[in-house]
Amino acid sequence: MAEVELTNISKIFEGAAHPVLSDISFTVKDTEFVSLLGPSGCGKTTLLRIIAGLEEQTSGSLIIGESDMSRVAPRDRDMAFVFQNYALYPHFSVEDNISLGLRLRKIEKTEIAARVKATTEMLGLDALLARKPRALSGGQRQRVALARALVRNPKVFLLDEPLSNLDAKLRDKTRGELRMLFKKVKGTVIYVTHDQIEAMTMSDKIVILQDGKIQQIGTPNEIYEKPANIFVATFIGTPQMNILTKKEMQTMGYALTGTEPSLEDFTCGIRPEDLEVSVTARQGWVEGAVDLCEPTGALTTLTISVPGAALRASTTLKWPLDQTRAWFTFKHEHMHFFSSAEGGRIN
Amino acid sequence: MATTKSDRRSTAYKTAFYVFMVVSVIITLFPFVWMLSTSFKSPGEIFTKQPTILPQLWTLNGYKNLFAAVNMWLHLCNSVIYAVSITALSVLFNAMAAYAFAKLRFPGREKLFALLLVTMMVPGQVTMLPVFLILKSLGLLNSYAGLVLPGSAAVFAIFMIRQFMMEIPEEILEAARIDGFSEFAIFWRIMLPLCRPIIATLTVFSFIGAWNDFLWPLIIMLREDKYTLPVALASINGQYNTDWGLLMAGAVVVVLPAVLIFLMAQKHYIKGIAAGAVKG
Ligand SMILES: Nc1ncnc2c1ncn2[C@@H]1O[C@H](COP(=O)(O)OP(=O)(O)OP(=O)(O)O)[C@@H](O)[C@H]1O
Ligand SMILES: [Mg+2]
């Protein structure tokens, strides 16, 4: 069993004024795939490095299985790390790159050979074993880095944006492959990414970080459907969620229905796909001007301006390009309400 | 197709370039060829009115006299011991120090390194006497240890290797740390091989430097049987009337190994490495 438990992990780099991570606590269950998601510079890599033992936390504890890992050397933590730039050994062959970790652990030769064979076959690397990393394509290097991790059969896999150096198409393909791969080997995975699609499609659980603080922990659906605050609400989902203050809603002519929080002030979030739009006027709907119409095939994204605000709406309607007026309303059950002061979720 | 203006210009440029190179090569090689040819000439021919490039009468007398005048094998042996051990030790120590300064985190690292660099400003001649006195009080005069130890670490080489190592991505070392390499194994099996171009370069410099070194062995080795080749050669020069054939034969014997080493190591000289280590 390899459960990873982080409790109140904080990190302040020497000489820095602000903590890079503050009070990070979450648990990764055995065989769970957890993504750390957040904008650039929010501390994802730092957190992963702390888990790997490459960086020491300023405070907090890290427990893997039953044992406290806070003071254990990286090589004794039984984890594998896939670096963003792969960090292959340039002067060793692919085979050595993959097998060195096992050889250093004094595992029997026959077993090493068997494991290397199984792993490289699974990843389609068998024909490349004799090559040096510089003779590989980016995608192949990425798979070698993955093989180096998989072959060790570690308690926990740590991956730092392993797909970010691949082109869009390969990234799409690899995403699914990775997910299936880790399901197959029943790996416990902590996966760092700033790509929400990756996090949404691959994870059992997502941890959203901003400025070194956890914003929300939940399954992809929970996070999408019940964002804990305005940051998460706008960070997840493309096009971005519309954010309107109570005042803005009133200015644009939206009639409050009474289902809204009975507060002096609140902020409402509504996803573009939760706007209902129409080309003709409807009773009680808000009228706006279509500034931009972006058809993407199945969906069309409209940018609609109303007095005091602009909203985005996604619709399956084939929107006529010369249609410059739009009428819209919100699907009540999909409206998110946040406190305007703290940004926290209310409903 | 008619040759265009830029074609003609580039031909002219190339011609000028090659002429320049050929002249440079002749100027550089001439003393070397002269030494080689003189070593095979008879004493009479060395001083003919019309100098000849090649000997008219090839003779090995210069070499015979050389080997008769001094115990060449002994001095050759001393030279090899001196150059090989100082090269091996200095490359190892310099690389280890460079690794620490480039990749290990410890308090005061930058200050210590700056201090080390400052010592480069003190010329060797200034420290020679104090070092001599220290060696004397340690009883290391006339010994190989005394000859080799003071030169077995060089700040400039440490600096060069450190610069090179700093280019190697930290992640490779971290991957190794996670893979289970010990700190020493990281140095020995990852850093050293990756630094091969700079190490090869410094090995050659260090070897040739020690091989040609005259002053230091002269000061430290007081007994004739401990002389290195250059010192031994100089001592012949003083003892007899200058026998140019013999002297040039000696010079050939001294220079030859250095040239061979240089040619052998040439292909390892600085060239791009670490390619393929990280995204490319
Ligand atoms: N060794 C260090 N010393 C000081 N500050 C550091 C160090 N490493 C990282 N930081 C700082 O910590 C913050 C978080 O860095 P980190 O690399 O964890 O971000 P990230 O979330 O992985 O970003 P990205 O998505 O761009 O990779 C950054 O502001 C960075 O400048
Ligand atoms: Mg990062």
Chain A residues closer than 8 Å to B175 by CB: 81, 83, 87-89, 148
The answer to whether B255 faces chain A, any CB pair under 8 Å, is no
Ligand 1, residues at Cβ distance < 6 Å: A 13, 16, 20, 38, 40-46, 194
A41/A176 same-domain check: yes
Range of the domain at A112: 4-229
| Residue in the block written with tokens 């799409």 | A172
The answer to ipTM > 0.90 is: no
Ligand 1 pocket, mutate which of A46, A56, A159, A161 (most atoms under 8 A from CB): A46
- Say whether A87 and B175 touch across the interface (CB within 8 A): yes
Name the closest-CA residue to atom 7, ligand 1.
A13
- Ligand at minimal distance from the CA of A22 is 1
| Residue in the block written with tokens 């940018």 | A303
Of A54, A105, A165, the CB nearest to B279: A165
C-alpha of residue A219 to centroid of ligand 1, in Å? 26
Nearest Cα to Cα of residue B279 among A91, A168, A90, A80: A90
The answer to whether B194 faces chain A, any CB pair under 8 Å, is yes
The backbone torsions φ and ψ at residue A133, rounded to the nearest 5 degrees and listed phi first, read -55, -35
**CATH code, domain carrying A331:** 2.40.50.140
What is residue B62's predicted lDDT score, i.e. its pLDDT?
86
The backbone torsions φ and ψ at residue A239, rounded to the nearest 5 degrees and listed phi first, read -60, 160
Cβ-Cβ contacts under 8 Å for A70 (sequence gap 6 or more): A57, A61, A62
C-alpha distances in angstroms, A141 versus A89, A119, A131, A136, A159?
Answer: 11, 14, 11, 6, 14
A70/A94 same-domain check: yes
C-alpha of residue B237 to centroid of ligand 1, in Å? 67
- The domain boundary residue, chosen from A176, A211, A229: A229
Instruction: For chain B, count helices (H), then strands (E).
Output: 15, 0
The answer to whether A167 faces chain B, any CB pair under 8 Å, is no
- The domain boundary residue, chosen from A229, A250, A283: A229
Count of positions (residues) in chain A: 347
A57/A154 same-domain check: yes
Name the closest-CA residue to atom 1, ligand 1.
A13
Name the closest-CA residue to atom 20, ligand 1.
A41
Residue A64 lies in a domain: yes
- The domain boundary residue, chosen from A229, A254, A285: A229
A199/A255 same-domain check: no
End-to-end CA distance of chain A: 38
CA-to-CA distance for B180 and B234, rounded, in angstroms? 54
Q: Rounded to a whole number, what is the distance in Å from the CA of B171 to chain A's nearest CA?
A: 6
What is residue B240's predicted lDDT score, i.e. its pLDDT?
58
- Say whether A74 and B277 touch across the interface (CB within 8 A): no
Collapsing DSSP to helix, strand or coil, A192 comes out as: strand
Q: Report which ligand 1 atom has the smallest distance to the Cα of A44.
A: 21
Task: Tell me the residue type at B213.
Answer: D
A245/A212 same-domain check: no
- Say whether A87 and B169 touch across the interface (CB within 8 A): yes
Residues around ligand 2, an ion, CB closer than 5 A: A 45
CA-to-CA distance for B244 and B235, rounded, in angstroms? 14
Q: Rounded to a whole number, what is the distance in Å from the CA of B275 to chain A's nearest CA?
A: 6
What is residue B275's predicted lDDT score, i.e. its pLDDT?
36
How is chain B split into domains, by residue range? 5-38, 71-279
List chain A pLDDT tens, one digit each, 347 residues. Answer: 589 999 999 999 988 899 999 999 999 999 999 999 999 999 999 999 999 999 999 999 999 988 999 889 999 999 999 999 999 999 999 999 999 999 999 999 999 999 999 999 988 999 999 999 999 999 999 999 999 999 999 999 999 999 988 888 888 989 999 999 999 999 999 999 999 999 999 999 999 999 999 999 999 999 999 999 999 999 999 899 999 999 999 898 888 887 788 788 899 999 999 999 999 999 889 999 999 999 988 999 999 999 989 999 999 999 998 899 999 999 989 999 999 988 899 87
Residue A345 lies in a domain: no
Ligand 1 pocket, mutate which of A10, A24, A35, A42 (most atoms under 8 A from CB): A42
B172, B179, B190: which to substitute to probe chain A, counting the most A Cβ within 10 Å?
Answer: B179
Residue A160 lies in a domain: yes
Ligand 1 pocket, mutate which of A12, A22, A35, A45 (most atoms under 8 A from CB): A45
Task: Tell me the residue type at B236.
Answer: I
User: Going edge to edge, which strands form the sheet with A21-28?
Assistant: A21-28, A4-11, A59-64, A67-68
**What's the predicted TM-score (pTM) here?**
0.83
C-alpha of residue B248 to centroid of ligand 2, in Å? 64
CA-to-CA distance for B266 and B264, rounded, in angstroms? 6
A255/A304 same-domain check: yes
Residue A114, burial from CB neighbour count under 10 angstroms (0-12, 13-18, 19+): exposed
Nearest Cα to Cα of residue A82 among A34, A133, A150: A150
- Say whether B179 and A104 touch across the interface (CB within 8 A): yes
CA-to-CA distance for A160 and A149, rounded, in angstroms? 12
C-alpha of residue A212 to centroid of ligand 1, in Å? 10
A164/A309 same-domain check: no
Task: Tell me the residue type at B36.
Answer: L
Residue A217 lies in a domain: yes
Residue A143 lies in a domain: yes
A209/A246 same-domain check: no
Name the closest-CA residue to atom 4, ligand 1.
A13
B 150-169 near A (Cβ less than 8 A): 169
Domain count, chain A: 2
* A86-101 pLDDT, tens digit each: 999 999 999 999 999 9
Of A73, A74, A87, the CB nearest to B278: A87
C-alpha of residue A58 to centroid of ligand 1, in Å? 15
CA-to-CA distance for A61 and A5, rounded, in angstroms? 8
**Domain topology for B71-279:** MetI-like fold (1.10.3720)
**CATH code, domain carrying A51:** 3.40.50.300
Residue of B nearest to A101 (CA): B179
Residue of A nearest to B169 (CA): A87
Count Cα neighbours of B221 within 13 Å in the Cβ-side half-sphere.
25
B203 contacts B195 by C-beta, under 8 angstroms? no
CA-to-CA distance for A73 and B174, rounded, in angstroms? 11
Name the closest-CA residue to atom 29, ligand 1.
A41
H-helix or E-strand spanning residue B90: helix B72-103
A46/A160 same-domain check: yes
List chain B pLDDT tens, one digit each, 280 residues. Answer: 555 667 777 888 999 999 999 999 999 999 999 999 999 988 888 887 777 888 888 888 888 888 888 888 899 999 999 999 999 999 999 999 999 999 998 999 999 999 999 998 998 889 889 999 999 999 999 999 999 999 899 999 999 999 999 999 999 999 999 999 999 999 999 999 999 888 988 888 899 999 999 999 999 998 888 899 999 888 887 655 678 888 889 889 889 888 888 888 777 764 533 333 343 3
A173/A319 same-domain check: no
Residue A344 lies in a domain: no
A37/A71 same-domain check: yes
A208/A270 same-domain check: no
- Ligand at minimal distance from the CA of A210 is 1
